[in-house]
Chains A and B, each alone.
Chain A
Amino acid sequence: MARRTYLDRIRASRTPFTVAIVVVLTLYCLIALFLIPNVMLSSFKTRGELINNIMGFPHAFTLENYVTVLVEDNFIRYFMNSVVLSGLALTSLLFFASMTAYGLSRYRFRGRDALQVYFLLGTMFPIQLGILPIFIIIRTLGLTNTFLGMILIYTANMSLAVFIFSKFFRTLPYALYESARIDGAGEFRIFVQIMLPMSKPVLSTVGIIQFVLIWNDFYMPLVFLTRREVRTLTLAIFRYLSNFLANWHLVFTAATIALVPVIVVFFLFSEQLVAGLTAGSMKE
């Protein structure tokens, strides 16, 4: 971490403006700093206690809600569904998007520029706009309520990943590719054994932001996963919310179960997350 330079200190020098900013931002951040721990703490309160003590520490920690949510209400299953679906969809997306990007950036061929633009269209038109025909396709293939259908959709939504991968592959030295060719390696082997291992930074950048997006996705599961066995965590919490009064004490627990992995990922990988989010924004 670089030390603040003299000019840094001048730039941040205290003026009424910076003081006001710091105060306002602090207050703003208190919303998150209050809500998230509050939900986690409240997940240990009984229903009776929640009514009177919504803010603050639980009087007696109870794991009752966790038993109800995880076992009786099947959240172990929903959690595993989310893990399996996100894991498979992410693997598939990274594989196909990196392969496509590699083909689009390593080789020169007629129509390549047009194809690159074509693959960018998805950043302009969210996949939700085509959801009706997608629904019909998935239904015709008999893939509603299957993870395979969801994986196809998440993989097809590859514009941003292709864009970021392409930018990265263009920076890999061509000599590397040539020497592998001379050694007699096939095209696909060069990609898998030489190029992909060199792409770890960009794989993690794309992977982490896409993991968060897929893990949190609400719309696709809402449309395609109507059966209980395939329900994801996000969707299961939504079912709780739609009967808010009855389940109100359980939502805290369910939300905590869903929040913890994401917050761990967030604090471990915040740099990659930021990189993944902004990598797609710098078009040139």
Chain B
Amino acid sequence: MKLLQNRPYIGFVLPGFVLYTAFMIVPLLVAIYYSFFDWSGLGPMTFVGIDNYRTLFTNPRLSSVFWNALGNNAKMVLAVLCIIMPIQLLIAYSIDIKVRGYRAFQLIVFLPYVISPTIIGFFALLVFDPNLGILNTIFDALNLEQFRSAWFGNPDIAFPLMVGVIAWQGIGAGMLIFLANLKEIPREIIEASIIDGASRWRRFIHIVVPSLLPSFTNNIVLGTIWAMVQFDIPYIVGGSQGGVDNSVDFMNLFFYRFAFGGAYFGETSMGFGATISVVLFFIILLVAVGQIAFLRRYENR
């Protein structure tokens, strides 16, 4: 009790610290430990050194699934950074300059963000189901059979469709981060530039974009993490195998199959699952640290 009286912060911080450490931080480290074992999750653990890693990278059957999933995550990162983020900025900017109906746009663009992923998955099935879906029904009704498609059943277009569905749900978050940043730009600067007669485009490039570096940093880092840990919608729409021909497979799904889904051996493989999550962890660590270091340098200039 004496200790708590002299150092009251201990009593405040300790409970949260214990919970956070036990369920957030320690598991990340223990996952590294598990990755060196062959373990089904029950029964004895056999130390196998780096065998799990070797299997992941070199076993012909598994590594092709691994590279495909990782490749999809990489494509997702690119889609977030090169397509989704510019759109988020464009919408945020339009709302900030108060185009007609901007309040409704802000609400409705953000709305899907609060909808549960299972319902988003249901929306996707409702629109794209080959037999019952709205799109094929419309094409039938208009006698446009040539536009009918298996949609998610067609591995050539499943991935871009998935990007679209994921973007539709999540686009509002980054958009709002840009918007919050846009509102912080001092009005006087904008007004001065209007009085000086700068065109909208020049104003955007020379005044708005340079002021947005903090939100760019945030959106790039958060967007990358978002793309790297995709699970819910691909799993709900494409199943645990990640769609036809693994077309919408992602690292997190690949991991889930081993950890909980009895992927290939008919039983779960905790050791191998842990290996996948560790690889994912280090990729996120590298990418995020690299991005932050790079962007910090930019911000300081």
Contacts and interface: CB of A to CB of B under 8 A. Distances in A.
B161 interface: no
A237 B119 CA distance: 8
Nearest to B277: A129
**Size range of the interface on A?**
35 or more
A188 B123 CA distance: 48
Contacts of A216: 114-117
Interface stretch (A60-68, A69-77, A115-123, A197-205): A115-123
B107 A54 contact: no
Q: Name which of A122, A132, A244 has the most chain B CB atoms within 10 A of its CB.
A: A132
Given A11-B98, A21-B99, A282 B214 contact: yes
Given A115-B13, A133-B34, A241 B126 contact: no
B115 A259 contact: yes
A251 B191 CA distance: 52
Contact of A127 (B24, B98, B99, B109): B24
A96 B16 CA distance: 6
Contacts of B132: 51, 54, 245, 248
Nearest to A244: B125
B15 A122 contact: no
A156 B23 contact: yes
Given A54-B134, A216-B117, A126 B270 contact: no
A57 interface: no
A182 interface: no
A267 B277 CA distance: 38
B12 A191 contact: yes
Interface string B242-259: 000000000010000001
B229 interface: yes
B171 to A, nearest CB: 9
B78 interface: no
Nearest 7 interchain pairs by C-beta? A103-B12, A130-B27, A100-B16, A156-B23, A133-B27, A133-B30, A107-B9
Interface of A: 4, 7-8, 10-12, 15, 17-18, 21-22, 25-26, 28-29, 31-33, 35-36, 39, 51, 54-55, 96-97, 99-100, 102-104, 106-107, 109, 112, 115, 118-119, 121-122, 124-137, 152-153, 155-159, 162, 187-188, 191, 212, 215-216, 218-219, 223, 233-235, 237-238, 241, 244-245, 248, 251, 255, 258-259, 262-263, 265-267, 270, 273-274, 277-278, 281-284
8 contacts: A18-B94, A22-B94, A29-B105, A130-B28, A135-B260, A137-B22, A156-B22, A235-B118
